[in-house]
Amino acid sequence: MLNSVRDFLKLYQVPKGLSERVMDYIVSTWSMSRGIDTEKVLQICPKDMRADICVHLNRKVFKEHPAFRLASDGCLRALAMEFQTVHCAPGDLIYHAGESVDSLCFVVSGSLEVIQDDEVVAILGKGDVFGDVFWKEATLAQSCANVRALTYCDLHVIKRDALQKVLEFYTAFSHSFSRNLILTYNLRKRVSCQFRFLLYQEQSLCT
Instruction: Examine the domain organization and report whether 96 and 198 are in the same domain.
Output: yes
Over residues 164-180, the mean pLDDT reads 96
Which residue type, as a one-letter code, is found at position 34? R
Is 62 a member of any domain?
Answer: no
Instruction: Examine the domain organization and report whether 98 and 32 are in the same domain.
Output: no
pLDDT interval class at 195 (50, 70, 90): low
Instruction: Examine the domain organization and report whether 32 and 131 are in the same domain.
Output: no
pLDDT interval class at 28 (50, 70, 90): confident
Which pLDDT belongs to residue 137?
92
Question: Does pLDDT of 203 surpass 60?
Answer: no
Count up the domains in the chain and report the number: 2
Is 71 a member of any domain?
Answer: no
Give the Cα separation of 4 and 25 in Å (integer): 14
Question: Does pLDDT of 134 surpass 70?
Answer: yes
Positive or negative: CA dihedral 58, 64, 65, 71: positive
Instruction: Examine the domain organization and report whether 19 and 97 are in the same domain.
Output: no
Instruction: Examine the domain organization and report whether 25 and 91 are in the same domain.
Output: no
Instruction: Examine the domain organization and report whether 91 and 155 are in the same domain.
Output: yes
Residues 38-64 pLDDT 10s:
777 678 888 899 999 999 999 999 999
Over residues 146-171, the mean pLDDT reads 96
Which pLDDT belongs to residue 11?
85
Is 4 a member of any domain?
Answer: yes
Is 22 a member of any domain?
Answer: yes
Is 178 a member of any domain?
Answer: yes
Higher pLDDT, 77 or 138: 77
Which pLDDT belongs to residue 30?
73
Q: According to the 3-state scheme, what is the secondary structure of 87-117? A: EECCCCEEECCCCECCEEEEEEECCEEEEEC
pTM for this one? 0.83
Which residue type, as a one-letter code, is found at position 207? T
Residues 82-131 pLDDT 10s:
999 999 989 999 999 999 999 999 999 999 999 999 999 999 999 999 99
Is 31 a member of any domain?
Answer: yes
Is 100 a member of any domain?
Answer: yes
Instruction: Examine the domain organization and report whether 94 and 32 are in the same domain.
Output: no
Instruction: Examine the domain organization and report whether 98 and 200 are in the same domain.
Output: yes
Alpha helices in the chain (DSSP H): 2-11, 16-33, 38-44, 47-57, 59-64, 73-82, 160-169, 171-180, 193-206
Is 118 a member of any domain?
Answer: yes
CATH number, domain containing residue 97:
2.60.120.10
Give the Cα separation of 103 and 89 in Å (integer): 19
Range of the domain at 32: 1-36
